[in-house]
């Protein structure tokens, strides 16, 4: 049976962030994830995890000025120092929170910069981060994202991510496979996941169109969940969707899998 983690950035938004841990546990989730922990004291987050017996399965590296529209800085040559500082900050938080997977958002390709230069910067930053996280016992993940929601995003499909991993040749670099983003960019979800399974360390879900809960769009999630079991995927599936109404009202899809 799949292991589902509630994404507390998008789910249970009817509550303040630190109160969402309790709501996730009450709903039957054993794991949680979120985009960023850095606006909160790591000790406060740790206390909620312990109190509600939840595992933190994923968070992201610092990704620049999110409110201003930045979606990662890993491809930006003039932000290398900031990127490396972010790696250490993420390791510090993950160590306290017991998180063993950290995702790196590539960022939006700036106008006027050759793609080869962006690629080289991304490769250099990933190589550094993978090595630093390995020392801390943390896996580094990279996530392809669709260019409809984030125009200009640098990393856009599974093939590109896997090729980059092979080029860097690090045993500590993996794919975070978001079914919503990849349904938009490439489709063929079941076959793509199966053929790249050794490279995939985390999966996320949302339905398309709308990025709402499973059952609201075109993706056959009951089939996909059975397929993941059949091919031996034993990792977490992060529920990174926007509830169509409230989180609780939209959890009917989760009932057969509730722990």
- Nearest-angstrom CA–CA distance, 121 and 81: 12
Contact 5, 31 (CB under 8 A): yes
Pairing between β-strand 101-104 and β-strand 31-33 as defined by DSSP bridges: unpaired
E strand or H helix at 60: strand 55-60
Residues 6+ apart with CB under 8 A from 47: none
Half-sphere exposure of 169 (CA within 13 A, CB side): 1
Judge if the upstream peptide bond of residue 7 is cis by omega within 30 degrees of 0.
no
Q: pTM value?
A: 0.97
Q: How confident is the model at residue 1, as a pLDDT? A: 81
Contact 193, 233 (CB under 8 A): yes
Residues of the chain whose pLDDT is less than 50?
none
**From 14, 70, 143, 213, the catalytic residue:** 143
DSSP labels for 90-129? HHHHHHHHT--EEEE---BPPTTS-HHHHHHHHHHHHHHH
Residues 6+ apart with CB under 8 A from 209: 217, 218
Coil, helix or strand for 62? Answer: coil
**From 53, 218, 240, 249, the catalytic residue:** 240
Q: How confident is the model at residue 229, as a pLDDT? A: 97
- Nearest-angstrom CA–CA distance, 181 and 153: 12
Phi-psi domain of 172 (left: phi exceeds 0; alpha: psi -120 through 50; beta: other): alpha
Instruction: Kindly list the domain boundaries of the chain, sorted by start residue.
Output: 3-254
Coil, helix or strand for 48? Answer: helix
Q: The tokens 């000025």 sit on which residue?
A: 65
Residue 43: active-site member: no
Residue 53: active-site member: no
3-254 — its CATH code?
Answer: 3.20.20.150
E strand or H helix at 58: strand 55-60
Contact 205, 214 (CB under 8 A): yes
Q: What are phi and psi of 172, to 5 degrees?
A: -120, 35
């Amino acid at each position: 049976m799949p292991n589902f983690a509630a994404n507390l950035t998008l789910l249970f938004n009817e509550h303040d962030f630190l109160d969402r841990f309790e709501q996730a546990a009450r709903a039957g989730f054993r794991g949680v994830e979120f985009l960023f922990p850095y606006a909160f004291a790591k000790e406060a987050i740790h206390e909620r995890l312990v109190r509600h017996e939840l595992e933190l399965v994923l968070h992201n590296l610092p990704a620049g000025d999110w409110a201003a529209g930045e979606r990662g800085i890993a491809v930006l040559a003039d932000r290398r120092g900031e990127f490396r500082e972010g790696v250490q900050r993420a390791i510090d938080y993950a160590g306290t929170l017991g998180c063993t997977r950290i995702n790196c958002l590539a960022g939006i390709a700036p106008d006027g910069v050759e793609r080869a230069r962006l690629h080289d910067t991304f490769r250099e930053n990933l190589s550094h981060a993978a090595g630093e996280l390995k020392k801390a016992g943390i896996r580094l993940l990279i996530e392809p994202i669709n260019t409809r929601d984030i125009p200009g995003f640098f990393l856009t499909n599974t093939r590109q991510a896997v090729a980059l991993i092979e080029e860097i040749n690090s045993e500590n670099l993996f794919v975070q496979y978001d079914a919503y983003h990849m349904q938009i960019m490439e489709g063929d979800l079941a076959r793509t996941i199966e053929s790249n399974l050794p490279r995939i360390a985390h999966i996320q879900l949302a339905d398309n169109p709308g990025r709402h809960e499973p059952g609201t769009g075109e993706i056959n999630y009951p089939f996909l969940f059975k397929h993941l079991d059949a091919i031996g995927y034993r990792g977490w599936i992060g529920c990174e969707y926007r509830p169509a109404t409230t989180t609780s009202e939209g959890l009917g899809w989760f009932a057969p899998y509730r722990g």
